[in-house]
Chain A
Amino acid sequence: MSSAHLFSSVQELAAALAGGRLSSVELTQACLARIRSVEGRVRACNSFDEPGALAQARESDARRAAGRARGPLDGIPVGLKDVIAVQGQPLTCSSRMLANYVSPYDATVAAKLKAAGAILLGRLNLDEFAMGSSTENSAFGPTANPWDLTRVPGGSSGGAAAAVAAGELPLALGSDTGGSIRQPAALCGIVGLKPTYGLVSRYGLAAYASSLDQIGPMGRSVADVALLLGAIAGHDPRDSTSLRAEVPDYGAELAVRRGPWRLGVPREFFGAGLDPEVGAAVQSAIAFYRSRGCEIREVSLPLAAEYAIAVYYLIATAEASSNLARYDGVRYGHRSAAAKDAVDLYFQSRAEGFGEEVKRRIILGTHVLSSGYYDAYYLRAQKVRALIRQEFVRVFQDCDALLSPTSPTAAFRLGEKSADPLAMYLTDIYTISVNLAGLPALSVPCGFTSAGLPVGLQIIGQPFQEAGLLAVAAAYEQAHAWKDRHPSL
């Protein structure tokens, strides 16, 4: 197979597979070849299982030859952020703590992808335990942005975004707790969707902040992302927070939903801190929708704009401090050789196993929950979270979706913000409130800066309105050629 397929859409690949013009083994080998050729510079993969992937590909080809192909994802390679468990594959969370850990079981999304015939190829880099916005907090080193190797790919799903943008893989699954799918999608010029909380099972996702985490699809087009979302969504009896929602055929819905829509533009998301070039790109996207007959109305989300980051860092760190307590060196994971007794085993193993940002958040979260501070921090944060949710409900009374920048800036330089955690936290200012409210949102490319860096448009929807959200994004995508640009590596 030629490298022409590297940036093909999943529809094209599926058609080629179905038509016998391409085999899954050929496609998988092409991905492996691309990985080998660019990984030295991009460093998106923590590991990849070449023999395992080729074995899955041969099975897929055999199924197809026997007339038992399972659908559009059969034979298509999909990369997984290295926080999603796949039986027999490493699950490192980009942490020293789990550097040698192999999962003995499948996450529900992994089992669903296997059932759909997808080839689970590649464990993708991230900020350790999904804590960060640049993938620089990985214990195994940072991933580079394929558009400019001196810049970050965003995070925490930076490996997934970079791998898809670089043509290493057609699709990937990321996870999004405060923007970790959308922000790297924006910075790498791809499409990434954070589903409604409860649409996709979290079973098998190493937890960062349970009430905010969602697994979501990342791809080079809205249609690709729609296809992958359909494969992973749906109620899971193993996840008590998974909801019994109807899962439509998202791809088919794209063809039906054509607008026009009532689109809200939150005034507070265009204020100080927004890079002018990013702002201009988003404004021109808004103008596009207006030109297509959509009603554009300015809306206000004052609480979300003012308090989302503070609320997020109280709730997410509190949950993280408890979720990460299981990494203690007793049953699995890093176990300090220096420990003298049980308590020392905890101290040493966790001191050696966790990186700076993870420790910072565990300490913060432990403080937030501690006796005497709980009411002032955690409880109050939950109350403000409820108010932020209500604020969105109110705004959605008059809007089908909201438009905003995904990130205030395009990709920043490696190391630029790593010494300043607060500056790093502010990169998620437009994405975090969406997680607090449990809403679905996606980022779709909407142009490039003068330096040739991608810019993302965030579209926020109402709960379980992913089909509508994807349709709004597709309308823009079809009228623009951004997705046909690829980084030169």
Chain B
Amino acid sequence: MTYQAVIGLEVHVQIRTASKMFTRVAAGYGEPENTLTDPVVLALPGALPVMNKAALDGVIKAGLMLGCRIAPVCKWDRKNYFYPDSPKNYQISQYDQPICLGGAVEIELPGPSRNVMGEHKRIPLTRIHLEEDVGKLTHGANDSLVDYNRAGTPLMEIVSEPAMHTADEAFAFLTALRIAMVQGGISDCDMEKGQLRCDANISIRPQGETRLGTKVELKNLNSISFVRDGIAHEIRRQIAVVEAGGAIVQETRQYDGEAGASSAMRSKEMAHDYRYFPDPDLMPVRVDEAWLEGIRATVPEAMFDRQRRYLADYQLPYSITSVLVPDRALGDYFEETARLGASPQAVGNWIANDLLRELAAARLPLAESKVRPAHLAELVRLVEGGVISTMIAREVFGAMFRTGDLPAAIVERQGLRQSSDTGELERWVADALAADPKAVAQFKAGNEKALNAIKGAVMKASKGKANPKLVDEIARRLIG
């Protein structure tokens, strides 16, 4: 029997705002415990929530980026449950009228190699709603401590349709979603800081069956690779249970990424009755067209749209585009350099290979690179104009990266201009031919590659300054 897994994800993403969801106190991470609090955060008697518009802007932007329908009215509900990390013992959330409905996340599955684009799919979304985050519990031997710094941070819950079938698809979904949220400036999505958290609903069914099987909710998938591993593990576990003649129990399980195992947390019988009702402390907020227009103007180009454009308009190889597009700033850097008249393919290569390597080695972010698009465009033009060879250009690039000087200045200062002086070139070639009669003989016997040894020797003698095209011509002439 073969089985098909059905996977839906619930992803929580914190929205990066200066202040919390319903009060003026700052939102943040890593501050001393319980310092980001006020009467509202601590749910003191008499405190009232007031909506932070920036949080609503964030979720609306996310919705627009993912093609959701934006509700005309933002309505708030209370989700009632007792837990010590929840100061009011209810969470302000959205129940029956989420701010965003529908939409989809475009994903790319792994291709046959990293040079070949994989299959693309659109994973439909059910909804996105806005709510407030809870505090953080630390359990000791005899007590538990609560830190309310996180409590009240704006949090989006993004719910996918049960439309994924493999752990790879779930991984691709989360990757694409994370990139979109980061590129939209909506969240930093740092999973270690809890800015992005993922739960998965997983069921299996015999291949060809259309009804859904009993689902298990998998929690605690707190890194992006744990999501893939945890889901793959759960699919295997469910198949093993069914193959052994057992039945899947509807329950919530917790995945332990270090151990690569999961354990049951609670069963359906222990499910909460959240007693949702409209929050009487908050008025519904009308979201009008002017508001949407203002946000729409800030929506960036989607990653895969940009990739398709790079492939079509710049004729870049897929492997280069897949380096450039996930980082919005890197793509912008590329486009700016190309706009300055440099060959897009050459620019793409320089960024994907040299620039990123140097940045990684120096542990610098792109924003701090001394090589700016104008520098790189000039370097590419120097190579294309035959002023310097590619080999010299690498050397120049290293100097540019260290000093921030313009490449032309470095070339002049260090005398790196490529030699096209025929007399000088003929002397270098003649010396090289004399020094390697074996290569000459092989070339004469029809081995084209043997000429490379001669050319290499010339480049070495000229310290890279010899014009390779002229060297080739002269060598053929002198041998012939």
Q: A322-B80, A326-B45 are in contact. List 9 more A-B contacts (CB 8 A).
A: A85-B46, A202-B46, A207-B48, A240-B48, A241-B282, A325-B89, A326-B88, A328-B89, A370-B275
- Residues 214-237 of B, flagged 1 when their CB comes within 8 A of A and 0 if not, give 000000000000000000000000
Inter-chain contact B45/A318, CB cutoff 8 Å = no
Inter-chain contact B273/A370, CB cutoff 8 Å = yes
User: Chain A at the B interface: mostly helix, strand, loop or mixed?
Assistant: loop
| Most A CB within 10 A of own CB, among B46, B84, B87, B277 | B46
Nearest residue (CB) in B for A201 is B48
Q: Give chain A interface residues in 366-420, CB to chain B under 8 Å.
A: 366, 369-371, 374, 378
Query: Is B78 an interface position by the 8 A CB rule?
Result: yes
Inter-chain contact B50/A84, CB cutoff 8 Å = no
Known: A326-B43, A330-B84. A238 touches B50 (CB 8 A): yes
Query: Is A276 an interface position by the 8 A CB rule?
Result: no
Query: Is A206 an interface position by the 8 A CB rule?
Result: yes
CB distance from A170 to the nearest CB of B (A): 25
- Residues 114-148 of B, flagged 1 when their CB comes within 8 A of A and 0 if not, give 00000000000000000000000000000010100
- Residues 6-49 of B, flagged 1 when their CB comes within 8 A of A and 0 if not, give 00000000000000000000000000000000010011111111
Q: Which residues of A contact B275 (CB under 8 A)?
A: 321-322, 366, 369-371, 374
Query: Is B283 an interface position by the 8 A CB rule?
Result: yes
CB distance from B213 to the nearest CB of A (A): 25
Known: A318-B277, A326-B87, A369-B80. A101 touches B45 (CB 8 A): yes
- Residues 309-348 of A, flagged 1 when their CB comes within 8 A of B and 0 if not, give 0000000001101100110101110000000001100100
CB distance from B436 to the nearest CB of A (A): 83
Q: Which residues of A contact B45 (CB under 8 A)?
A: 83, 85, 91, 93, 98, 101, 103, 206-207, 326
Q: Which residues of B contact A203 (CB under 8 A)?
A: 46-48
Query: Is B281 an interface position by the 8 A CB rule?
Result: yes
Nearest residue (CB) in B for A341 is B144
Q: Which residues of B contact A98 (CB under 8 A)?
A: 45
CB distance from B131 to the nearest CB of A (A): 15
Q: Which residues of A contact B277 (CB under 8 A)?
A: 318, 322, 369, 374, 378
Query: Is B51 an interface position by the 8 A CB rule?
Result: yes
A201 to B84, CA, bound (A): 29
Query: Is B291 an interface position by the 8 A CB rule?
Result: no
- Residues 450-470 of A, flagged 1 when their CB comes within 8 A of B and 0 if not, give 000000000000000000000
Nearest residue (CB) in B for A319 is B280
Q: Which residues of A contact B3 (CB under 8 A)?
A: none
Nearest residue (CB) in A for B34 is A331
Q: Name the contact of B39 in the complex, choosing from A104, A207, A322 (C-beta under 8 A).
A: A104
Inter-chain contact A205/B84, CB cutoff 8 Å = no
Query: Is A210 an interface position by the 8 A CB rule?
Result: yes
| Most A CB within 10 A of own CB, among B45, B51, B88, B275 | B45
- Residues 271-289 of B, flagged 1 when their CB comes within 8 A of A and 0 if not, give 0010111001111000000
Known: A322-B275, A369-B275. A332 touches B144 (CB 8 A): no
Q: Give chain B interface residues in 137-187, CB to chain A under 8 Å.
A: 144, 146
Q: Which residues of A contact B80 (CB under 8 A)?
A: 321-322, 325, 369
CB distance from B276 to the nearest CB of A (A): 8
CB distance from A326 to the nearest CB of B (A): 4
Q: Give chain A interface residues in 198-213, CB to chain B under 8 Å.
A: 202-207, 209-211
A35 to B42, CA, bound (A): 35
Instruction: Sample 29 A-B pairs with CB under 8 A, ordered by A number.
Output: A83-B45, A84-B46, A85-B45, A93-B45, A101-B45, A104-B39, A105-B39, A202-B48, A206-B46, A207-B46, A209-B280, A238-B48, A239-B48, A240-B51, A240-B283, A321-B80, A322-B90, A322-B277, A325-B88, A325-B89, A328-B82, A331-B43, A342-B84, A342-B144, A346-B82, A369-B275, A369-B276, A369-B277, A370-B275
Inter-chain contact A331/B48, CB cutoff 8 Å = no
Known: A328-B89, A369-B275. A107 touches B46 (CB 8 A): yes
A244 to B49, CA, bound (A): 17
Inter-chain contact A241/B47, CB cutoff 8 Å = no
Nearest residue (CB) in A for B88 is A326
Query: Is A71 an interface position by the 8 A CB rule?
Result: no
A319 to B45, CA, bound (A): 15
A239 to B49, CA, bound (A): 7
A331 to B84, CA, bound (A): 9
Inter-chain contact B90/A325, CB cutoff 8 Å = yes
Q: Give chain A interface residues in 269-294, CB to chain B under 8 Å.
A: none
Q: Which residues of B contact A103 (CB under 8 A)?
A: 44-46
Inter-chain contact B89/A240, CB cutoff 8 Å = no
A210 to B76, CA, bound (A): 14
Nearest residue (CB) in A for B43 is A326
Q: Give chain B interface residues in 77-125, CB to chain A under 8 Å.
A: 78, 80, 82, 84, 87-90
Q: Which residues of A contact B88 (CB under 8 A)?
A: 325-326
CB distance from A363 to the nearest CB of B (A): 13
